[in-house]
Chains A and B, each alone.
Chain A
């Protein structure tokens, strides 16, 4: 059974600092990995989808890397802003989506 772990569980940074969010998974036989953002009480917004054959994917200030062999992905958010405050979930697709517990980010103005 796929196990997905996200570290840290919570993170508080001053505005402008870069964010580094980690995700690890136990079974490397995956199709892809997806990073989501969730605001309190809301649905999931897809941020980045990275295929198993890719090493990284970028969108604006966001960059996600994937090392399938070691079962790790990292989401980098450059120059954080208060609007980036949310919970970030990684989800591994190995036919079903398996989610990590998320990292709750607070960016202080």
Chain B
């Protein structure tokens, strides 16, 4: 299977809930990324995992907690979010070879109520 798969596609959660976003790829990519995209804005990098180790955290609030248990899966754990965290959350993967491009998933549309 090629490509990056994200689940769920849509998520509505209350500010006191705890939920998780899932991302999966089977292309053998060893770098995985979380991006946040607000309406009519470009994607903003949140986290980078390289060989299952967190290599970049773009000063993201601790209410967002990433996890990369193996080379194929990436999670974003969410707790006590704010309404302003509502956005499209995109997962991407790439080879560690910088000449290769990025592959993005279809995203999870998150609404915090």
Contacts and interface: CB of A to CB of B under 8 A. Distances in A.
A32 B99 contact: yes
Given A51-B99, A96-B56, A101 B106 contact: no
Contacts of A36: 104
Contact of B104 (A44, A49, A51, A100): A44
A22 to B, nearest CB: 15
B98 A44 contact: no
Contacts, number: 49
Give the bracket for the number of chain B residues in contact with chain A: 20 to 34
Contact of B42 (A41, A95, A99): A99
| A43, A46, A49 — most chain B CB neighbours (10 Å) | A43
A34 B106 CA distance: 17
B107 A32 contact: no
A32 B98 CA distance: 8
Interface string B32-69: 00000000011101001000000010000000000000
A97 B41 contact: no
Contact of A97 (B99, B102, B109): B102
A34 B101 contact: yes
Interface of B: 6, 41-43, 45, 48, 56, 88, 90, 92, 98-107, 109
11 contacts: A32-B98, A42-B106, A42-B107, A43-B104, A43-B106, A43-B107, A44-B90, A46-B103, A49-B100, A99-B43, A100-B42
